Amino acid sequence: MAPTPAYALIATDLDGTLLRGDDTVSDRSLAALARVAWAGARHLVVTGRPAPRVRPLLADLGRTGLAVCGQGAQLYDAGTDRLLWSVRLDRELAETALGKIEAEVGQVFAAVDQDGVDGLTLIEPGYRMPHPTLPALRVGRRDDLWSAPISKVLLRHAALSDDELAAVARAVVGSLATVTMSGPGTVELQPSGVTKATGLALAAERLGIGAERAVAFGDMPNDIPMFDWAGHGVAMAGAHAELRAVADEVTLSNEDDGVAVVLERLFPAD
């Protein structure tokens, strides 16, 4: 009989954390996650990717349970292929927020993730996808981005760094939206008050697991709310300085199986 683990919930970001640069999960990480399952603990993917962009990965991992997607705006059930909960970003508010940002920094290039399990990622002219492996549909003009309900807006600027763009956006957007930075070239606007922590807390409540028994892994500032919520936060080597500052520990990089290193310690083979 497996011993009762100290932690019952393992929450992992994907890009820069569980996934290697080629969008795969290493054999060592898969084996470590198998230890987690054998011990009776649960693994939850908590990602900025929308549900349609997570579905194939969950299938490869053999996951049929919950996943927190879209920076916490979506709670996806892989077993039934449906959203149990979702929050949309009001499109008029999104347009207003974009206008405020552009009034400060000039032209930005935008993309949107549509709501729903089959929602598309639409990109306007000039926008370059930070993850070229993820599918996206280019539209002819910005107005086309608002053709259907959305869960978030993704922003890029030709000259400003991600940190600079995010700082300006937070200063001018106010309560119109939550501003996050989830990776290189990925500054986002999502529904106000929605974070990875709100989505993770909802999933944990459904599973009957308290925050004190959760371990969270991440690499970017959008993981800070998740670290604040969880009992233990683990930053990857090379993680953004803002996340390292609030982490309980720092592990190896995603390329060096940093998630597996910690899980092997928390869930020993014997």
We report the CATH number of the domain holding residue 170 as 3.30.1240.10
- The 10s digit of each residue's pLDDT in 154-194 is 999 999 999 999 999 999 999 999 999 998 889 999 999 99
Please state, rounded to an integer, the average pLDDT across all residues of the chain: 95
What's the pTM?
0.95
Tokens of 166: 């995010």
Q: Which amino acid is at 128?
A: R
Burial degree of 253 (CB within 10 A; 0-12, 13-18, 19+): middle
Instruction: State the CB neighbour count (10 A cutoff) for residue 118.
Output: 10
**pLDDT at residue 62 greater than cutoff 90:** no
Taking only Cα atoms into account, the Rg of the chain, rounded to an integer number of angstroms, comes to 18
**pLDDT at residue 217 greater than cutoff 50:** yes
Within this chain, do residues 54 and 170 fall inside the same structural domain, yes or no? no
**pLDDT at residue 2 greater than cutoff 70:** no
Instruction: State the CB neighbour count (10 A cutoff) for residue 220.
Output: 24
Whether the Cβ atoms of residue 129 and residue 138 lie closer than 8 Å to each other: no
Whether the Cβ atoms of residue 163 and residue 171 lie closer than 8 Å to each other: no
pLDDT of residue 1: 47
Quote the domain boundaries for residue 251: 9-86+194-266
Percentages helix, strand, coil for the chain, rounded to the nearest 5?
Answer: 40, 25, 35
Within this chain, do residues 115 and 170 fall inside the same structural domain, yes or no? yes
Q: Residue 18: CB partners within 8 Å, gap ≥ 6?
A: 12, 25, 29, 45, 217, 254, 259
Which residue is it, tokens 């990622």? 121
Give the C-alpha distances (Å, rounded to integers) separating 119 from 52, 138, 215: 7, 14, 30
Main-chain phi, psi angles of 263, to 5 degrees: -65, -35
Last residue of a domain, one of 139, 172, 190: 190
Domain count, the chain: 2
**pLDDT at residue 260 greater than cutoff 90:** yes
Within this chain, do residues 121 and 180 fall inside the same structural domain, yes or no? yes
- The 10s digit of each residue's pLDDT in 225-258 is 999 999 999 999 999 999 999 999 999 999 999 9
Q: Does a structural domain hold residue 1? A: no
Q: What value does the mean pLDDT take over residues 39-46?
A: 96
pLDDT of residue 220: 97
Q: Which amino acid is at 183?
A: G
